[in-house]
């Protein structure tokens, strides 16, 4: 817990009033980061003084414990205020000011491309991962009998999209299942064994929202391309979560919600399309023929808010002020803190790998003999912990059926909240759930 003395010491002032008025923006975060330069990300991950400084950059409801950041993350105050500022500007004379902001969206495109390793002409700014992925799913020319291979752990909306195409175009959908956790070699083999002459698309997550399982995106893409198979990757839980470059993954399409791990405003997403695939991909909404080779054709949705897109720039700057390597290390540090403590009990089942390079800020846990669905209201009522359940049922192979709590802290999560979650789970292990 914070004491008045510790608050004043970090604030660098003699009065609480000055501390209360202190604003934490990108400059303050960059200044705090400069003090830890030269130290490894793993070392900084355990530096509570540094991460308390980062926590000051957010306006949060500390009366509850948010461990469901995998749904949507609160933006840093500087990002939220930028979005409001752009909205206020637009509202003065929308037909004029909104147009000015829209022309500056190109800055966000260039910065996204630079931060995540792509050509700006391969980056479309969308509203979320679902829209991004549906552009790819519905934009491909497919004929009756063509096969799509995906998994049971892909996002429900994306599976629904393929099911609709199956009804409309009479294509075949094959869903693979796998144990959680498993290895990347196992996943690669499962896809390779499933490929037939009719296979046209492999659609899979970079990290699944159902278990946090990491997929071998590059290996799957390089395996698929010589066979003439298209790869579509759901990156909603990967981009801005841990370091990698889009161009290195070799896939054809990659869809993201930026309001998750980048901490951008709600209603912002990204679609990466390999340059040689742009012309042959139909946009969701019609674009003129002259734009066939232009990535911007995928942004043709009519009149829409420009403010949210403009504020992506502040979200990128905020991430850069911390450094993605430090951010990823902190997320892993928080996950290992609760997971290593809980797994000491033999009734704890982890459905996510804790191996290095496999898990950062998303992991799934269950307790043998305890219904995870009933744990959610219990944790809320008694501890004010916000969390969700994930998992799925496999009627053909019950060993692949599971359900657990998806735990997703973020860089603004203090250790006290992680420890409260551990305490709550240990109490359930000891006494069970109240009847």
Q: What is the pLDDT of residue 124?
A: 98
> Is 127 inside a domain boundary?
yes
* Token representation of residue 217: 């995106």
Q: Indicate the pTM of the whole model.
A: 0.93
The answer to whether residues 180 and 352 touch, using CB atoms and an 8 Å cutoff, is: yes
Shared domain check, 250 and 365: no
R_g over Cα of the chain? 23
Residue 58 included in any domain: yes
Could you say which DSSP state residue 73 is in? P
Which pLDDT does position 23 carry in this prediction? 62
Q: What is the CATH number of the domain that holds 106?
A: 3.40.640.10
pLDDT at residue 24 in the model? 78
| Domain presence at residue 404 | yes
The C-alpha atoms of residue 90 and residue 86 are separated, in whole angstroms, by: 6
- Looking at 267, 295, 317, the residue that finishes a domain is 317
Same domain for 387 and 352: yes
Of the candidates 267, 282, 317, which is a domain's last residue?
Answer: 317
Put residue 148 in one of left, alpha, beta given phi > 0 → left and psi -120 to 50 → alpha: beta
The answer as to whether 100 is a domain residue is: yes
Strand 172-176, strand 402-407: pairing? unpaired
pLDDT at 19: 36
Number of domains in the chain: 2
The C-alpha torsion from 421 through 422 and 423 to 427, rounded to 10°, is 100
pLDDT score of 16: 36
Give phi and psi for 339, each to the nearest 5.
Answer: -70, -45
237 shares its domain with 285: yes
Which regions of 54-159 does DSSP assign to beta strands (E)?
A: 65-66, 123-126, 147-151
pLDDT of residue 293: 98
Residue count of the chain, please give it: 435
Backbone dihedral angles phi then psi of residue 408, each to the nearest 5 degrees:
-130, 85
Residues 264 and 244 both lie in one domain: yes
Q: Which helix (H) or strand (E) holds 248?
A: helix 246-249
Q: What's the pLDDT score for residue 390?
A: 97
pLDDT at 405: 98
Is residue 337 domain-shared with residue 392, that is, in the same domain?
A: yes
Give the SS3 label for residue 253. Answer: strand
Cβ burial of 195 (10 Å; 0-12, 13-18, 19+) is: middle
* Contact in structure between 221 and 204 (CB atoms under 8 Å): no
We report the CATH number of the domain holding residue 422 as 3.90.1150.10
Among 265, 289, 317, identify where a domain stops.
317
Q: Give residue for tokens 């991430």.
A: 319
Same domain, 282 and 356: no
Indicate whether 109 and 234 sit together in one domain: yes
The domain in which residue 56 lies consists of 26-75+323-429
Q: Is 393 a domain residue?
A: yes
Same domain, 220 and 115: yes
pLDDT in tens, 162-185: 999 999 999 999 999 999 999 999
Q: Which residues of the chain have pLDDT under 50?
A: 1-22
């Amino acid at each position: 817990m914070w004491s008045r003395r510790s608050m004043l010491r970090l604030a660098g002032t003699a009065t609480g009033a000055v501390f209360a008025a202190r604003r934490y923006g990108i400059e303050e975060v960059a200044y705090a980061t400069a003090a830890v330069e030269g130290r490894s990300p793993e070392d900084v991950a355990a530096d509570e003084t540094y991460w308390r400084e980062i926590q000051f950059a957010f306006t949060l409801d500390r009366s509850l414990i948010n461990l469901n950041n995998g749904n949507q993350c609160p933006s840093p105050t500087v990002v939220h205020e930028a979005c409001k500022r752009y909205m206020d500007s637009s509202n003065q004379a929308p037909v004029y000011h909104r147009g000015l902001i829209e022309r500056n969206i190109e800055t966000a495109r260039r910065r996204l491309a630079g931060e995540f390793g792509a050509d700006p002409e391969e980056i479309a700014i969308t509203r979320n991962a679902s829209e991004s992925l549906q552009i790819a799913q519905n934009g491909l020319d497919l004929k009756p009998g063509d096969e799509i291979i995906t998994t049971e752990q892909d996002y429900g909306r994306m599976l629904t999209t393929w099911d609709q195409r199956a009804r409309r175009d009479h294509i075949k959908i094959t869903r693979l299942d796998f144990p959680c956790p498993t290895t990347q070699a196992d996943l690669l083999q499962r896809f390779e064994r499933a490929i037939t002459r009719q296979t046209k698309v492999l659609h899979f997550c970079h990290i699944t929202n159902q278990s946090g399982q990491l997929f071998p995106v590059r290996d799957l893409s390089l395996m698929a391309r010589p066979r003439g198979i298209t790869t579509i990757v759901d990156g909603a839980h990967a981009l801005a979560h841990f370091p990698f470059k889009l161009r290195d993954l070799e896939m054809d399409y990659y869809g993201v919600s930026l309001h998750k791990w980048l901490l951008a405003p709600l209603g912002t997403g990204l679609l990466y399309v390999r340059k040689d695939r742009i012309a042959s991909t139909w946009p969701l909404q019609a674009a003129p023929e002259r734009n066939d080779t232009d990535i911007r054709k995928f942004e043709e949705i009519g009149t829409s808010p420009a403010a949210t897109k403009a504020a992506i720039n502040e979200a990128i700057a905020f991430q850069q002020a911390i450094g993605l390597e430090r951010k990823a290390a902190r997320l892993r540090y928080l996950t290992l803190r609760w997971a290593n403590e809980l797994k000491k009990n033999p009734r704890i089942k982890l459905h996510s790998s804790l191996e290095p390079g496999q898990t950062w800020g998303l992991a799934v846990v269950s307790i043998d003999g305890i219904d995870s669905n009933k744990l959610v209201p219990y944790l809320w009522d008694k501890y004010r912990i916000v969390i969700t359940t994930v998992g799925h049922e496999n009627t053909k192979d019950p060993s692949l059926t599971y359900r657990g709590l998806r735990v997703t802290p973020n860089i603004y999560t203090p250790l006290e909240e992680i420890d409260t979650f551990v305490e709550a789970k240990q109490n359930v292990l000891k006494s069970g759930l109240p009847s």
